[in-house]
Amino acid sequence: MHDVLIGRGLIDEAGVKLAEVIEPCRTVVVSDENVAPLYKDRVVDSLRESGFSPSIVELPAGESTKCGTQYIALLEAFAKAGLTRSDLVVALGGGVIGDLGGFAAATFLRGVAVAQIPTTLLAAVDSSVGGKTAIDLAAGKNLVGAFHLPIRVLCDPATLSTLPPEQLAVGMAESIKYGILFDAPLFELLAHGAPPDLTETITRCVAHKQAVVERDFTDRGDRQLLNLGHTFGHAIEACSGYTILHGEAVAIGMRMAARAAVLLGVAEEDCTDAVTAALEAADLPITTPYTAAALTAAALHDKKRAGGTLNLILPVRIGQCVRYPLPVEQLGALMEDVCAWIV
Protein backbone atom coordinates (compact mmCIF):
# COMPACT_ATOMS: atom_id res chain seq x y z
CA MET A 1 0.00 0.00 0.00
CA HIS A 2 1.21 3.52 -0.73
CA ASP A 3 2.52 5.79 2.00
CA VAL A 4 0.33 8.51 3.43
CA LEU A 5 2.36 11.02 5.42
CA ILE A 6 0.42 13.38 7.69
CA GLY A 7 2.05 16.32 9.44
CA ARG A 8 2.37 20.06 9.57
CA GLY A 9 5.08 21.46 7.32
CA LEU A 10 5.01 18.63 4.79
CA ILE A 11 4.11 20.94 1.93
CA ASP A 12 7.52 22.59 2.29
CA GLU A 13 9.22 19.17 2.39
CA ALA A 14 7.54 17.86 -0.77
CA GLY A 15 10.80 17.52 -2.68
CA VAL A 16 12.61 15.68 0.11
CA LYS A 17 9.69 13.34 0.79
CA LEU A 18 9.10 12.50 -2.87
CA ALA A 19 12.81 11.97 -3.53
CA GLU A 20 12.59 9.14 -0.99
CA VAL A 21 10.28 7.17 -3.30
CA ILE A 22 11.28 8.28 -6.82
CA GLU A 23 14.46 9.48 -8.47
CA PRO A 24 14.34 13.26 -9.05
CA CYS A 25 12.90 13.75 -12.51
CA ARG A 26 10.83 15.96 -14.76
CA THR A 27 7.65 16.81 -12.86
CA VAL A 28 4.35 18.49 -13.72
CA VAL A 29 2.49 20.00 -10.78
CA VAL A 30 -1.24 20.13 -11.53
CA SER A 31 -3.28 22.61 -9.51
CA ASP A 32 -6.20 25.01 -9.86
CA GLU A 33 -6.62 28.75 -9.87
CA ASN A 34 -7.63 28.83 -6.19
CA VAL A 35 -4.91 26.61 -4.74
CA ALA A 36 -1.97 27.47 -6.98
CA PRO A 37 -1.51 31.06 -5.73
CA LEU A 38 -1.36 29.76 -2.16
CA TYR A 39 1.03 26.82 -2.49
CA LYS A 40 2.52 26.35 -5.96
CA ASP A 41 5.71 28.34 -5.29
CA ARG A 42 6.43 26.47 -2.07
CA VAL A 43 5.94 23.09 -3.73
CA VAL A 44 7.86 23.98 -6.89
CA ASP A 45 10.76 25.45 -4.87
CA SER A 46 10.90 22.35 -2.67
CA LEU A 47 10.92 20.06 -5.69
CA ARG A 48 13.62 22.06 -7.42
CA GLU A 49 15.80 22.09 -4.30
CA SER A 50 15.66 18.27 -4.24
CA GLY A 51 16.73 17.90 -7.86
CA PHE A 52 13.37 17.68 -9.64
CA SER A 53 12.63 19.71 -12.77
CA PRO A 54 9.12 21.04 -12.06
CA SER A 55 6.60 22.93 -14.15
CA ILE A 56 3.07 23.97 -13.21
CA VAL A 57 -0.30 23.59 -14.92
CA GLU A 58 -3.15 25.68 -13.49
CA LEU A 59 -6.72 24.63 -14.27
CA PRO A 60 -10.07 26.28 -13.53
CA ALA A 61 -11.48 25.50 -10.10
CA GLY A 62 -14.66 23.50 -9.62
CA GLU A 63 -16.32 20.19 -10.45
CA SER A 64 -16.84 21.19 -14.09
CA THR A 65 -13.07 20.88 -14.59
CA LYS A 66 -13.38 17.07 -14.17
CA CYS A 67 -14.40 16.73 -17.82
CA GLY A 68 -13.14 15.34 -21.08
CA THR A 69 -12.07 18.73 -22.41
CA GLN A 70 -9.80 19.50 -19.46
CA TYR A 71 -8.55 15.91 -19.40
CA ILE A 72 -7.35 16.14 -23.01
CA ALA A 73 -5.88 19.58 -22.36
CA LEU A 74 -3.93 18.16 -19.42
CA LEU A 75 -2.60 15.28 -21.53
CA GLU A 76 -1.45 17.81 -24.12
CA ALA A 77 0.31 19.74 -21.35
CA PHE A 78 2.08 16.55 -20.26
CA ALA A 79 3.23 15.95 -23.82
CA LYS A 80 4.40 19.55 -24.21
CA ALA A 81 6.35 19.24 -20.94
CA GLY A 82 8.08 16.14 -22.33
CA LEU A 83 6.97 13.76 -19.61
CA THR A 84 8.29 10.21 -19.95
CA ARG A 85 7.31 7.03 -18.13
CA SER A 86 10.05 7.66 -15.56
CA ASP A 87 8.67 11.11 -14.68
CA LEU A 88 6.12 12.37 -12.16
CA VAL A 89 2.79 14.17 -11.88
CA VAL A 90 1.98 15.95 -8.61
CA ALA A 91 -1.70 16.68 -7.94
CA LEU A 92 -1.83 19.73 -5.66
CA GLY A 93 -5.37 20.58 -4.60
CA GLY A 94 -8.71 19.14 -3.66
CA GLY A 95 -10.67 16.19 -4.92
CA VAL A 96 -11.24 17.52 -8.43
CA ILE A 97 -7.53 18.05 -9.08
CA GLY A 98 -6.63 14.75 -7.44
CA ASP A 99 -9.15 12.81 -9.54
CA LEU A 100 -8.36 14.53 -12.83
CA GLY A 101 -4.59 14.71 -12.33
CA GLY A 102 -4.50 11.09 -11.22
CA PHE A 103 -6.55 9.91 -14.19
CA ALA A 104 -4.39 11.85 -16.64
CA ALA A 105 -1.27 10.33 -15.05
CA ALA A 106 -2.81 6.84 -15.19
CA THR A 107 -3.46 7.07 -18.92
CA PHE A 108 -0.62 9.21 -20.30
CA LEU A 109 1.93 6.84 -21.86
CA ARG A 110 -0.19 4.05 -20.26
CA GLY A 111 0.81 5.28 -16.83
CA VAL A 112 3.25 7.68 -15.19
CA ALA A 113 3.76 8.07 -11.45
CA VAL A 114 1.54 10.42 -9.49
CA ALA A 115 1.85 11.92 -6.02
CA GLN A 116 -1.05 13.54 -4.21
CA ILE A 117 -0.81 16.68 -2.07
CA PRO A 118 -4.36 17.25 -0.79
CA THR A 119 -5.24 20.78 0.32
CA THR A 120 -8.86 20.20 1.38
CA LEU A 121 -10.25 18.13 4.21
CA LEU A 122 -12.32 16.06 1.78
CA ALA A 123 -9.24 15.17 -0.27
CA ALA A 124 -7.14 14.54 2.83
CA VAL A 125 -9.51 12.07 4.46
CA ASP A 126 -10.80 10.38 1.34
CA SER A 127 -10.18 11.11 -2.32
CA SER A 128 -6.37 11.39 -2.27
CA VAL A 129 -6.02 7.92 -0.73
CA GLY A 130 -6.66 4.61 -2.46
CA GLY A 131 -5.89 5.22 -6.11
CA LYS A 132 -9.34 5.93 -7.55
CA THR A 133 -9.10 8.48 -10.37
CA ALA A 134 -11.83 9.66 -12.70
CA ILE A 135 -13.59 12.29 -14.74
CA ASP A 136 -17.31 12.94 -15.10
CA LEU A 137 -19.65 12.48 -18.06
CA ALA A 138 -22.93 14.27 -18.68
CA ALA A 139 -24.63 11.02 -17.61
CA GLY A 140 -23.00 11.00 -14.17
CA LYS A 141 -19.98 11.38 -11.91
CA ASN A 142 -16.77 9.39 -12.19
CA LEU A 143 -18.00 7.22 -15.06
CA VAL A 144 -14.58 7.22 -16.76
CA GLY A 145 -11.61 6.38 -14.59
CA ALA A 146 -8.79 4.10 -13.58
CA PHE A 147 -7.22 2.65 -10.45
CA HIS A 148 -3.79 4.27 -10.14
CA LEU A 149 -2.12 4.33 -6.72
CA PRO A 150 -0.07 7.41 -5.87
CA ILE A 151 3.55 6.77 -4.99
CA ARG A 152 3.02 8.91 -1.89
CA VAL A 153 0.38 11.17 -0.34
CA LEU A 154 1.61 14.23 1.54
CA CYS A 155 -1.08 15.64 3.80
CA ASP A 156 -0.25 18.89 5.57
CA PRO A 157 -3.08 19.85 7.97
CA ALA A 158 -1.79 23.42 7.98
CA THR A 159 -3.24 23.88 4.49
CA LEU A 160 -6.74 23.47 5.91
CA SER A 161 -6.46 26.85 7.63
CA THR A 162 -7.10 28.58 4.29
CA LEU A 163 -10.31 26.65 3.55
CA PRO A 164 -13.55 28.62 3.29
CA PRO A 165 -16.26 27.36 5.67
CA GLU A 166 -18.17 25.47 2.99
CA GLN A 167 -15.06 23.50 2.01
CA LEU A 168 -14.38 22.58 5.62
CA ALA A 169 -17.99 21.46 5.93
CA VAL A 170 -17.85 19.14 2.91
CA GLY A 171 -14.71 17.54 4.30
CA MET A 172 -16.54 17.01 7.56
CA ALA A 173 -19.21 15.10 5.62
CA GLU A 174 -16.65 12.56 4.43
CA SER A 175 -15.11 12.40 7.92
CA ILE A 176 -18.49 11.74 9.52
CA LYS A 177 -18.95 9.03 6.90
CA TYR A 178 -16.00 7.08 8.29
CA GLY A 179 -17.47 7.32 11.76
CA ILE A 180 -20.80 5.92 10.59
CA LEU A 181 -19.04 3.16 8.66
CA PHE A 182 -16.39 1.93 11.05
CA ASP A 183 -15.75 4.05 14.09
CA ALA A 184 -18.43 5.08 16.60
CA PRO A 185 -15.89 6.94 18.80
CA LEU A 186 -14.80 8.98 15.77
CA PHE A 187 -18.45 9.78 15.07
CA GLU A 188 -18.84 11.02 18.63
CA LEU A 189 -15.69 13.14 18.24
CA LEU A 190 -17.23 14.85 15.20
CA ALA A 191 -20.85 14.92 16.32
CA HIS A 192 -20.65 18.47 17.64
CA GLY A 193 -18.70 20.05 14.79
CA ALA A 194 -15.12 20.16 13.58
CA PRO A 195 -12.47 19.82 16.32
CA PRO A 196 -9.84 22.61 16.49
CA ASP A 197 -7.07 20.25 15.33
CA LEU A 198 -8.08 17.92 12.52
CA THR A 199 -4.89 15.83 12.54
CA GLU A 200 -6.45 12.99 14.54
CA THR A 201 -9.55 13.01 12.34
CA ILE A 202 -7.46 12.76 9.18
CA THR A 203 -5.25 10.03 10.64
CA ARG A 204 -8.19 7.85 11.70
CA CYS A 205 -10.08 8.29 8.42
CA VAL A 206 -6.99 7.48 6.37
CA ALA A 207 -6.29 4.37 8.47
CA HIS A 208 -9.83 3.11 7.85
CA LYS A 209 -9.62 3.78 4.14
CA GLN A 210 -6.22 2.14 3.74
CA ALA A 211 -7.45 -0.97 5.54
CA VAL A 212 -10.41 -1.28 3.21
CA VAL A 213 -8.37 -0.61 0.08
CA GLU A 214 -5.82 -3.24 1.06
CA ARG A 215 -8.63 -5.80 1.27
CA ASP A 216 -10.36 -4.75 -1.93
CA PHE A 217 -8.32 -2.50 -4.21
CA THR A 218 -10.53 -2.89 -7.30
CA ASP A 219 -13.81 -2.12 -5.53
CA ARG A 220 -15.54 -5.49 -5.90
CA GLY A 221 -16.43 -6.02 -2.24
CA ASP A 222 -15.73 -4.17 1.00
CA ARG A 223 -14.47 -1.02 -0.71
CA GLN A 224 -18.00 -0.38 -1.88
CA LEU A 225 -18.82 0.45 1.75
CA LEU A 226 -17.00 3.73 1.22
CA ASN A 227 -19.89 4.75 -1.04
CA LEU A 228 -22.15 5.39 1.95
CA GLY A 229 -24.40 8.29 0.93
CA HIS A 230 -22.99 8.37 -2.58
CA THR A 231 -25.78 6.69 -4.56
CA PHE A 232 -28.29 9.26 -3.30
CA GLY A 233 -25.62 11.97 -3.23
CA HIS A 234 -24.43 11.53 -6.80
CA ALA A 235 -28.05 11.68 -7.94
CA ILE A 236 -28.48 14.98 -6.09
CA GLU A 237 -25.29 16.35 -7.66
CA ALA A 238 -26.45 15.36 -11.14
CA CYS A 239 -29.88 16.93 -10.64
CA SER A 240 -28.23 20.17 -9.50
CA GLY A 241 -25.98 20.33 -12.55
CA TYR A 242 -23.11 19.94 -10.07
CA THR A 243 -23.88 23.25 -8.40
CA ILE A 244 -24.25 21.38 -5.10
CA LEU A 245 -20.84 20.46 -3.70
CA HIS A 246 -19.95 16.77 -3.51
CA GLY A 247 -19.70 16.71 0.27
CA GLU A 248 -22.99 18.55 0.64
CA ALA A 249 -24.70 15.98 -1.57
CA VAL A 250 -23.08 13.10 0.31
CA ALA A 251 -24.31 14.59 3.59
CA ILE A 252 -27.90 14.59 2.34
CA GLY A 253 -27.31 11.15 0.86
CA MET A 254 -26.12 9.72 4.19
CA ARG A 255 -29.27 10.96 5.89
CA MET A 256 -31.33 9.40 3.09
CA ALA A 257 -29.40 6.14 3.46
CA ALA A 258 -30.09 6.09 7.20
CA ARG A 259 -33.80 6.45 6.51
CA ALA A 260 -33.68 3.82 3.75
CA ALA A 261 -32.04 1.41 6.22
CA VAL A 262 -35.08 1.75 8.47
CA LEU A 263 -37.55 1.37 5.60
CA LEU A 264 -35.78 -1.75 4.31
CA GLY A 265 -35.48 -3.37 7.74
CA VAL A 266 -31.67 -3.24 7.73
CA ALA A 267 -31.17 -0.93 10.70
CA GLU A 268 -30.88 -2.48 14.14
CA GLU A 269 -31.10 1.02 15.56
CA ASP A 270 -32.58 4.10 13.93
CA CYS A 271 -29.56 6.35 13.67
CA THR A 272 -31.22 9.03 11.53
CA ASP A 273 -31.47 11.47 14.45
CA ALA A 274 -27.79 11.08 15.33
CA VAL A 275 -26.71 11.46 11.69
CA THR A 276 -28.96 14.48 11.23
CA ALA A 277 -27.60 16.20 14.35
CA ALA A 278 -23.97 15.61 13.34
CA LEU A 279 -24.55 16.97 9.84
CA GLU A 280 -26.31 20.05 11.17
CA ALA A 281 -23.48 20.65 13.65
CA ALA A 282 -21.09 20.67 10.69
CA ASP A 283 -23.26 23.24 8.84
CA LEU A 284 -24.20 20.72 6.16
CA PRO A 285 -27.53 20.54 4.30
CA ILE A 286 -29.94 17.74 5.20
CA THR A 287 -32.78 18.10 2.64
CA THR A 288 -33.07 17.98 -1.13
CA PRO A 289 -35.40 19.97 -3.41
CA TYR A 290 -35.43 17.34 -6.15
CA THR A 291 -38.29 14.97 -6.84
CA ALA A 292 -38.10 11.25 -6.29
CA ALA A 293 -38.58 10.70 -10.02
CA ALA A 294 -35.64 12.95 -10.93
CA LEU A 295 -33.38 11.38 -8.31
CA THR A 296 -34.36 7.86 -9.39
CA ALA A 297 -33.53 8.61 -13.04
CA ALA A 298 -30.14 10.03 -12.04
CA ALA A 299 -29.35 7.15 -9.68
CA LEU A 300 -29.90 4.60 -12.44
CA HIS A 301 -26.71 5.93 -14.08
CA ASP A 302 -24.72 5.29 -10.92
CA LYS A 303 -21.58 3.23 -11.52
CA LYS A 304 -22.43 1.04 -8.52
CA ARG A 305 -25.25 -0.47 -10.54
CA ALA A 306 -24.59 -4.07 -11.56
CA GLY A 307 -27.10 -5.19 -14.19
CA GLY A 308 -30.51 -5.16 -12.56
CA THR A 309 -29.17 -4.45 -9.07
CA LEU A 310 -28.05 -1.26 -7.36
CA ASN A 311 -25.78 -1.75 -4.36
CA LEU A 312 -26.85 0.60 -1.58
CA ILE A 313 -24.69 1.11 1.51
CA LEU A 314 -26.90 1.28 4.59
CA PRO A 315 -26.15 1.74 8.30
CA VAL A 316 -27.04 -1.05 10.70
CA ARG A 317 -25.93 1.21 13.55
CA ILE A 318 -23.34 3.94 14.03
CA GLY A 319 -20.03 2.20 13.35
CA GLN A 320 -21.40 -0.59 11.14
CA CYS A 321 -22.82 -0.56 7.62
CA VAL A 322 -23.69 -3.23 5.06
CA ARG A 323 -24.11 -3.57 1.31
CA TYR A 324 -27.73 -4.00 0.31
CA PRO A 325 -28.40 -5.19 -3.27
CA LEU A 326 -31.61 -3.43 -4.30
CA PRO A 327 -33.39 -4.53 -7.49
CA VAL A 328 -33.59 -1.44 -9.69
CA GLU A 329 -37.33 -1.85 -10.15
CA GLN A 330 -37.71 -1.18 -6.41
CA LEU A 331 -35.65 2.01 -6.45
CA GLY A 332 -38.48 4.34 -7.44
CA ALA A 333 -40.76 3.29 -4.59
CA LEU A 334 -37.92 3.49 -2.07
CA MET A 335 -36.96 6.95 -3.33
CA GLU A 336 -40.58 8.10 -3.02
CA ASP A 337 -40.71 6.96 0.61
CA VAL A 338 -37.35 8.49 1.49
CA CYS A 339 -38.12 11.81 -0.22
CA ALA A 340 -41.52 12.01 1.47
CA TRP A 341 -39.70 11.81 4.81
CA ILE A 342 -36.64 13.98 4.17
CA VAL A 343 -38.37 17.26 3.31
According to CATH, the superfamily of the domain at 178-342 is Dehydroquinate synthase-like - alpha domain (1.20.1090.10)
The architecture of the domain spanning 3-161 is: 3-Layer(aba) Sandwich (3.40)
Question: How many other β-carbons are positioned within 10 Å of the β-carbon of residue 165?
Answer: 9
Long-range CB pairs of 323-330 (<8 Å, 24+ gap) are 323/224, 323/225, 324/261, 324/264, 324/266, 326/264, 328/300
State the Cα–Cα distance between residues 169 and 118, nearest whole angstrom: 16
pLDDT of res. 269: 87
In this predicted model, what pLDDT tens digit does every residue of 257-306 receive, in sequence order? Answer: 999 999 999 999 899 999 999 999 999 999 999 999 999 999 988 766 66
Q: Going by DSSP bridges, is the β-strand pair 305-306/309-317 parallel, antiparallel, or unpaired?
A: antiparallel
pLDDT of res. 1: 54
Domain with CATH 3.40.50.1970 in the chain: 3-161
Domain with CATH 1.20.1090.10 in the chain: 178-342
Q: Which residues of the chain have pLDDT under 50?
A: none
State the Cα–Cα distance between residues 310 and 303, nearest whole angstrom: 9
